[in-house]
Amino acid sequence: MQISSSAYMGVETLVRLAMQSADGPCTTKGLAEWTNCPVSYTEALMARFCDAGLVVSRHGPGGGYALAKPADQITVAEIFQAVDAPSDFAPHPPNTDTIEAEGVRDLQGTDLLWAALKSCVMFFLTNVSLADLAPQAADQVGDDADDDARIDRFDMQSTMYH
């Protein structure tokens, strides 16, 4: 599984947007400067995020982009899926539970291993939200016990992999 530059920059861009959301909408130019990307590239990413329902666009003076829902409700997996082909990030690996026996026999060598690894990565990313990556965004969501438990769970997961 290879993470595309669009997926990488998409996460970076939406983390920046989540961090700035209290200040109002962010312009494409501002987002491009923060991520050190061309404005045209950032515009293309934002169009994909609008289509996916992750951000909203406000036109006119004081306009720009804002998250379409709270940062704790947008996962990194959703960001990946918004910028890359769905077939690249299938939600379930082909295994004996999800494909017919004939299909399992057709998989050669390590195909099942790589498909399972891709699925594990995507499963992990469904449990990482923008609020996990942008502490200021987590503060804007609120201080209830669910948020604290979610952040503690992420901290434990991230230390397991380092």
pLDDT at res. 45: 95
Q: Which range of residues forms the domain containing residue 74?
A: 5-160
Percent above pLDDT 90 for the chain: 44
65-91 pLDDT, tens digit each: 999 999 999 999 999 999 986 555 444
User: Residue 15: what pLDDT?
Assistant: 94
What number is the average pLDDT over the span 141-155?
A: 45
Backbone angles phi, psi at 57, to 5 degrees: -110, 135
Q: Please state the separation of Cα 66 from the chain's center in Å.
A: 15
pLDDT of residue 91: 45
Taking CA atoms, 102 is separated from 96, 98, 115, 116, 117, in Å, by: 10, 12, 17, 18, 21
- The half-sphere exposure of 81 on its side-chain side, counting CA atoms within 13 A, is 20
Q: How many domains does the chain have?
A: 1
Residue 61: what pLDDT?
Answer: 82
Q: Are 33 and 146 in contact (CB under 8 A)?
A: no
Specify the CATH number for the domain of residue 148.
1.10.10.10
> Helix count (H) and strand count (E) of the chain?
9, 2
Query: Between 13 and 114, whose confidence is greater?
Result: 13
CA atoms within 13 A on the CB side of 19: 14
